[in-house]
Structure 1
Amino acid sequence: MPGPEGISDLDKNRALADWLEWQLRQVRNRIRELEIKEQQETRARERARAEQSWKIQPKRSGETAMLHRGGCTLYSAHLGFLTRDEAIIALAEPDIEPCQICAPQTGLVDD
């Protein structure tokens, strides 16, 4: 039955439902945007952490173990990263060589 304005309760509730559905779509879109932003920030933090760390590529038959910067893509570490002090110790080991591409020794030791 129409109210005093000439719009029925049913039409008012349909309009309200349409508006609420629109609002919900807006909120869900914003949530997706924020999730993407959060993922990008997490990846950026991980990259920054990797760039300030080092990793060791284990020795394989006929090869020498190799020290890499954390962000070097020639070797993907499946274990944790090394600290600066651990990288300095690793460079002093006779059976660990620095990667010729990422030059992990740069800034670690005085040349």
Structure 2
Amino acid sequence: MFGEISDLDKNRALVDWLEYQLRQAKNRVRELEVKAEQEQRARERARAEMSWKIQPQRAGTTAMLHHGGCSLYETTMGFLNREEALIALAEPDIEACEICRPETGLASE
């Protein structure tokens, strides 16, 4: 009959529609993955900012205590809590970083 859509054309239209839906879903998944990654980095930064870290002693240098977020010494592990940082700062062979001044965060609590 004239004007009717064939089964083949209907199924091609359906495939086009499903492919469109799949592209939309994949784009949404990518957006959510980016958002989750950004949130994870923000949580890690917040954790670092509330912690301290020790830069190990090297030849000719002294071990140094930093705020967790201090960029003079980069590490993603081995963070200290407040009590551990206080103990470290009391050690004679560990100095406080003169840039981030970690002792100021220790004195506030």
Shorter chain as normaliser: what TM range? over 0.9
Question: Which of 81, 89, 92 in structure 2 is aligned with 1:94?
Answer: 92
User: 2:40 aligned with 1:42, yes or no?
Assistant: yes
**Letter of the structure 2 residue corresponding to residue 46 of structure 1:** E
Residue in 1 that maps onto 2:57: 59
Q: Calculate percent identity across the aligned residue pairs.
A: 70
**DSSP 3-state at the match of 1:105:** helix
User: Cα 1:61–1:78, aligned 2, differ >3 Å: closer, same or farther?
Assistant: farther
**DSSP 3-state at the match of 2:106:** coil
**DSSP 3-state at the match of 2:34:** helix
CA RMSD of aligned residues (A): 1.6
**DSSP 3-state at the match of 1:82:** coil
**DSSP 3-state at the match of 1:106:** helix
**DSSP 3-state at the match of 2:54:** strand
State the aligned residue count.
108
Per-residue Cα deviation, 1:33-84 (whole angstroms, up to 9, x for no partner): 0000000000000000000000000111111110001111101125410011
Question: Which of 24, 42, 63 in structure 1 is aligned with 2:22?
Answer: 24
Gap runs ≥5 in structure 2: none
User: Cα 1:78–1:32, aligned 2, differ >3 Å: closer, same or farther?
Assistant: closer
**DSSP 3-state at the match of 2:43:** helix
User: Cα 1:78–1:25, aligned 2, differ >3 Å: closer, same or farther?
Assistant: closer
Q: What is the TM-score when the length of structure 1 is the normalising length?
A: 0.91
Gap runs ≥5 in structure 1: none
Question: Which of 92, 104, 107 in structure 1 is aligned with 2:105?
Answer: 107
- Off by >2 Å, runs of 4+ in structure 1: none
- Checking the alignment, whether the CA contact within 8 Å between 1:56 and 1:67 is kept in structure 2 is yes
- Structure 1 or 2: more helix by fraction: 2
Q: What is the TM-score when the length of structure 2 is the normalising length?
A: 0.93
